Amino acid sequence: MMPYGKAWPVDTGMFFIPFSAGMLVAGFGALIGGWRTPWRYRWLLCLPSLGILLLLILTVVAFWPMNAALYYHGIASTKDTITDAQSIAMAQRWVTLDWVRVAGATAAFVAPLRALTLPWPQDAAPKDPPLVRVALALAFLGVAAFVVWFVSNL
């Protein structure tokens, strides 16, 4: 039943990996573009950027190993390391975490829509202190490194 093997000639990651990386880049692009707005706007731009990043990390850390374990168990591979009871519990955990992913993606989608519906502010945020700018630059570099690693797994 899993989307692998001869019955499924297309890898779902071929769609989701570049699409997710693109969403992450777009989210951070919007955050950078709106960085000089007051915090009442900026936090709405932070949600998709950080939310998508956290959801991608959750996917890599939790879903990829579970997908592999459930696949190997489903095809009775020699790489199978779980019992039937463990596979049932893992599948239930997978569904629960997937709902977390759906809720997070919804919040990451709704927050910037809310920012777009607010009137454009007349005031600009004060310039951030150098320490904050350095921390942001390091965070953006970390995200860029994650995107490169994530996309390189195609």
Mean pLDDT by 10 residues, the chain (154 residues): 62 74 83 81 86 88 91 89 93 95 89 82 77 85 81 68
- pLDDT at residue number 60: 86
For residue 125, count CB atoms less than 10 angstroms from its CB and return exposed for 0-12, middle for 13-18, buried for 19 or more. Answer: middle
Q: What is the dihedral of CA 72, 76, 77, 80, to 10 degrees?
A: 60
Residues 10, 21 contacting (CB under 8 angstroms)? no
Distance CA 102, CA 140 (A): 25
Residue 57 CB contacts under 8 Å (≥ 6 apart), including other chains: 146
Q: What pTM does this model have? A: 0.72
- pLDDT at residue number 10: 64
Residues 18, 56 contacting (CB under 8 angstroms)? no
